[in-house]
């Protein structure tokens, strides 16, 4: 049975999710693709940290041990921040590896360069997990663009913010209590500032912008507001009017063809498709020329939803590049 060798950079919530799914679904993947997938290396920062049992893979804190291994076909990346992630992935592409990332902070800025580099080296880039967690929004928009045109994208793109707003409104949690709950569930970033300030949703919107419109607006032109100033009492007050606060990221082309975008809390009524999206769920409304508005809903964060999006990318890579995935 031919084998695909993979490395996982980062073994926190997301990296562990990828590893678990690859173990749990090993036989199904083998059956559906004809390949076994073997995790050969895992990169971490602190080798001494206690982890789940990992058999058959080398744990290292040295990226060169991974990038110098000519057997590795695919590099999953689930570490934090722009660097060293961008450099590691550029180097992996240069070595001819396919890459699959969940790192939206890095990808919002460096995604276009990575995609260009990958095209030049004839390898694939999977970035489904960067945006809207387990919702297959990247694949959906990519497919739609083959024969249609995106006019507007509007959505709840941060699971932590939506989870906090729901807990504060329905269960009377304080902002701080709800944030701790989101952290314990693995939804929030290690430093949750970007979740609650709107920066995380903004970056996901920029990834969608590059994909849908082939460009991003000037980042400085986009007003970005978080949920960190909202109090439980503000949320309770809206209930009697049957309104709800949602943290909404929105991008569209104006009549002059210029990209306009906003990110922030919006009060919406019961008829709006985002009204009923609660908890850690995200939702994305894609409006196209031929389709009108299409709404996708699903879990926006967490170990298995994010891991699942990365495995979907892996299956796509295998199907696209079966010829070059033949074993080393």
Give catalytic residues, as residue numbers.
204
**3-state secondary structure at position 306:** helix
Residues 37 to 56 in contact with ligand NAP, rule: CB under 6 A: 43-46, 49
Do 104 and 203 meet the contact criterion of CB atoms below 8 Å apart?
yes
Examine residue 188 and tell whether it contacts ligand HSE (CB under 6 A). yes
Edge-first strand order for the sheet with 58-60 is 58-60, 36-43, 3-9, 74-77, 98-101, 125-126
Stretch that binds ligand HSE, among 155-163, 229-237, 286-294, 311-319 (CB under 6 A): 155-163
CA distance 105 to 124: 20
**3-state secondary structure at position 312:** helix
Examine residue 233 and tell whether it contacts ligand NAP (CB under 6 A). no
Residues 6+ apart with CB under 8 A from 147: 290
Do 283 and 249 meet the contact criterion of CB atoms below 8 Å apart?
no
Give least dist CB 84 to ligand NAP, A: 5
**From the list ligand HSE, ligand NAP, none, which binds 190 (C-beta under 5 to 8 Å, kind-based)?**
ligand NAP
Cα Dmax for the chain: 64
Is the Cβ of residue 73 or residue 313 nearer to ligand HSE in the bound state? 313
CA distance 28 to 11: 23
CA distance 97 to 178: 40
Do 144 and 133 meet the contact criterion of CB atoms below 8 Å apart?
no
Angle formed by the axes of helices 199-213 and 104-121, nearest 10°: 30
Give least dist CB 195 to ligand HSE, A: 5
Do 299 and 133 meet the contact criterion of CB atoms below 8 Å apart?
yes
Residues 121 to 140 in contact with ligand NAP, rule: CB under 6 A: 129, 133
The site string for ligand HSE over 122-141 (x = CB under 6 A, - otherwise) reads -----------x--------
Stretch that binds ligand NAP, among 5-13, 119-127, 204-212, 223-231 (CB under 6 A): 5-13
Q: Which residues does residue 43 pair with via DSSP β-bridges, in sequence order? A: 9, 60
**3-state secondary structure at position 96:** coil
Identified binder of ligand HSE from the candidate list 16, 73, 128, 200, rule CB under 6 A: 200
CA distance 306 to 189: 13
User: How do strand 74-77 and strand 3-9 relate by DSSP bridges?
Assistant: parallel
**From the list ligand HSE, ligand NAP, none, which binds 196 (C-beta under 5 to 8 Å, kind-based)?**
none
Q: Kindly report the three-state secondary structure assignment for every residue of 222-264.
A: CCECCCCCCCHHHHHHHHCCCEEEEEEEEEEECCCCCEEEEEE
The site string for ligand HSE over 82-121 (x = CB under 6 A, - otherwise) reads ----------------------------------------
Stretch that binds ligand HSE, among 44-52, 55-63, 76-84, 156-164 (CB under 6 A): 156-164
Give least dist CB 22 to ligand NAP, A: 15
Identified binder of ligand HSE from the candidate list 195, 216, 247, 288, rule CB under 6 A: 195
Examine residue 301 and tell whether it contacts ligand HSE (CB under 6 A). yes
Examine residue 306 and tell whether it contacts ligand NAP (CB under 6 A). yes
Stretch that binds ligand HSE, among 16-24, 56-64, 172-180, 185-193 (CB under 6 A): 185-193
Is the Cβ of residue 298 or residue 300 nearer to ligand HSE in the bound state? 300
Tell me which residues touch ligand NAP (CB under 6 A).
Answer: 10-15, 43-46, 49, 78-80, 84, 102-105, 129, 133, 186-187, 189-190, 301-302, 306
Tell me which residues touch ligand HSE (CB under 6 A).
Answer: 133, 158-160, 187-189, 195, 200, 300-301
């Amino acid at each position: 049975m031919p084998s695909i060798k993979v490395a996982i950079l980062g073994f926190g919530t997301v990296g562990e999710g990828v590893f678990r799914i690859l173990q749990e679904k090993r036989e199904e993947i083998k059956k559906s693709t004809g390949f076994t997938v073997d995790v050969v290396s895992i990169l971490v920062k602190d080798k001494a940290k206690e982890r789940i049992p990992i058999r058959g893979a080398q744990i290292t804190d040295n990226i060169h041990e991974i990038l110098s291994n000519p057997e590795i076909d695919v590099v999953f990346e689930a570490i934090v921040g722009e660097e060293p992630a961008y450099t590691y992935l550029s180097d992996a592409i240069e070595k001819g590896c396919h890459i699959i990332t969940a790192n939206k902070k890095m990808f919002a800025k460096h995604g276009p360069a990575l995609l260009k580099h990958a095209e030049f080296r004839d390898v694939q880039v999977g970035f489904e997990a960067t945006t809207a967690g387990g919702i297959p929004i990247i694949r959906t928009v990519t497919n739609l663009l083959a024969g249609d045109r995106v006019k507007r994208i509007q959505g709840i793109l941060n699971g932590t913010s939506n989870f906090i707003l729901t807990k504060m409104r329905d269960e009377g949690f304080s902002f701080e209590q709800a944030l701790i709950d989101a952290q314990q569930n693995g939804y929030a970033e290690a430093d949750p500032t970007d979740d609650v300030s709107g920066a995380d949703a903004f970056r996901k919107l920029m990834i969608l912008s590059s994909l849908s419109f082939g460009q991003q607006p000037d980042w400085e032109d986009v007003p970005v507001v978080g949920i960190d100033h909202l109090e439980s009492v503000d949320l309770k007050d809206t209930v009697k009017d049957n309104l709800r606060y949602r943290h909404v990221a929105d991008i569209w082309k104006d009549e002059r063809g210029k990209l306009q975008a906003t990110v922030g809390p919006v009060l919406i009524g019961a008829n709006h498709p985002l009204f009923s999206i609660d908890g850690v769920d995200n939702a994305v409304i894609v409006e196209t020329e031929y389709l009108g508005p299409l709404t996708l809903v699903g879990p926006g964060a967490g170990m298995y939803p994010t891991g699942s999006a990365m495995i979907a990318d892996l299956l796509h890579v295998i199907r696209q590049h079966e010829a070059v995935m033949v074993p080393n």
